[in-house]
């Protein structure tokens, strides 16, 4: 098993920045593709960003140019740098891992419990 714990969420004004962190433990971390997903009240969980074990990244159109996903395999950490935050970015953000790369939430095997990001005007 892989255990994932997110941190770094909070309250931020529109236009501000946050950096989310995901700490992984359990199975060897480095082979996993890691993703960030988010879910707002009343909405489906949606893909935000993905990073492969070798560092290749993908982003949802809604966050492209504003968010950056990164990883430090030596530290078993994944990060999501969020800049120019908008009201619509408000959601619970989840870190997830899978051996087979994917942008589909249902295909991910391991999930953290999420961290709340609230963007205010």
Please, which pLDDT band fits residue 91 given cuts at 50, 70 and 90? very high
Q: How does pLDDT run across 67-76, given as a tens digit for each residue?
A: 999 999 989 9
Give the pLDDT score at 101: 78
Counted residue by residue, the chain has a size of: 121
Please state, as a whole number, how many other Cβ atoms lie within 10 Å of the Cβ of residue 76.
17
Rounded to whole angstroms, the Cα distance separating 50 from 69 reads 7
Give the pLDDT score at 8: 98
Average pLDDT over residues 60-73: 97
């Amino acid at each position: 098993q892989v255990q994932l714990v997110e941190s770094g969420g909070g309250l931020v004004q529109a236009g501000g920045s946050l950096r989310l962190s995901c700490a992984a433990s359990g199975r060897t971390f480095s082979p996993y593709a890691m993703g960030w997903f988010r879910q707002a009240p009343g909405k489906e969980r949606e893909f935000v960003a993905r990073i492969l074990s070798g560092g290749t990244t993908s982003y949802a159109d809604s966050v492209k140019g504003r968010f950056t996903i990164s990883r430090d395999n030596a530290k078993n950490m994944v990060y999501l740098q969020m800049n120019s935050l908008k009201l619509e970015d408000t959601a619970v953000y989840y870190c997830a891992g899978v051996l087979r790369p994917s942008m589909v939430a249902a295909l991910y095997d391991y999930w953290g419990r999420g961290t709340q990001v609230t963007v205010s005007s």
